[in-house]
Chain A
Amino acid sequence: MHRRHFLGAGMAAGLLAASPLKVAFADAATDKRLVLIVLRGAMDGLGAIAPYADPDYRSIRGELALAEPGQPDGLLDLDGYFGLHPALAPIHGWWAEKQLLAVHAIATPYRERSHFDAQDLLESGGAKPTGQKTGWLNRALDQVHGHGTGLGLALGQGVPLVMRGAVPVASWAPSPLPEPTTDFLNRVMDIYQKDKVLGPALSSGLGIADMAQMASGVPAGQPKPKDRQLMATTAGRMLADPAGPRVAVMDMQGWDTHVGQGSIKGRLPNALTDLAEVMGLLREGLGEAWSKSVIAVVTEFGRTVRPNGTGGTDHGTAGVALLAGGAIEGGRMLGKWPGLRDDKLYEGRDLAPTTDMRALLKAVLKDHLGVSTRALDAHVFPDGKNVRPLADVIRT
Chain B
Amino acid sequence: MVMTGPASAALAAHATARFGYGAAPGDLAQISRDPRGWVETQLGGLPPGLPAGFIDHPGSAPRLMELLAVRKLGQSEEAMARRKALQEAYRSDAATRTRVAASSDRPLIERLTQFWSNHFTVSTQRGEVAPLAVAFENEAIRPYVLGQFEEMARAAILHPAMLVYLDNAQSIGPNSKAGQKRKRGLNENLGREALELHTLGVHGGYDQDDVRALALILTGWTIDRQDGDGTAFFNPNTHEPGPKTLLGRTFPEEGAAEAPAAITMMANHKGTAKHVAVKLARHFIADDPPASAVNALERKFRETGGDLGAVTATLVGLDAAWEEPLAKLRSPNDFLTAALRATQLPLDEKQVVNALNLLGQMPFAAPSPAGWPDRAADWAGPDAVVRRVDWSLALGQRAGGRVDARLLLADTLGDLADAELVQMVARAPSPAEALALALSSPAFQRR
Contact = CB atoms under 8 A, between A and B. Distances in A.
The majority secondary structure among interface residues of chain A is loop
Interface string A337-368: 00000000001000000000000000000000
B381 A154 contact: yes
Interface stretch (B134-142, B299-307, B436-444): B436-444
A176 B358 contact: yes
B394 A201 contact: no
A395 to B, nearest CB: 33
A258 B192 CA distance: 12
A177 B370 contact: no
The majority secondary structure among interface residues of chain B is helix
Given A116-B202, A310-B167, A201 B192 contact: no
Nearest to B378: A158
Given A114-B202, A205-B386, A157 B360 contact: yes
B441 A191 contact: yes
A74 interface: no
A139 interface: no
A313 to B, nearest CB: 10
Interface residues of B, number: 57
A40 interface: yes
Interface string B179-206: 1000111111100100011000010000
A256 to B, nearest CB: 8
B50 interface: no
B381 A191 contact: no
Given A175-B387, A179-B390, A187 B424 contact: yes
Nearest to A197: B380
B385 interface: yes
Contact of A308 (B186, B367, B390): B186
B38 interface: no
Interface stretch (B11-19, B168-176, B228-236, B313-321): B168-176
Contacts, number: 174
B189 to A, nearest CB: 4
Given A158-B381, A310-B187, A315-B192, A175 B428 contact: no
B26 interface: no
Contacts of A179: 390
Given A113-B208, A191-B421, A310 B358 contact: no
Interface residues of A, number: 62
A74 to B, nearest CB: 23
Interface centre among A40, A114, A169, A178 (most CB of B within 10 A): A114
A114 B202 CA distance: 7
A314 interface: yes
Nearest to B207: A112
A172 interface: yes
A312 B211 CA distance: 17
Contacts of B429: 183
Contacts of B358: 175-177
Given A201-B380, A308-B187, 19 more contacts: A112-B202, A113-B208, A158-B379, A159-B381, A170-B383, A171-B382, A175-B358, A175-B383, A175-B386, A177-B391, A184-B436, A187-B433, A205-B385, A253-B367, A258-B187, A258-B189, A259-B189, A314-B187, A314-B192
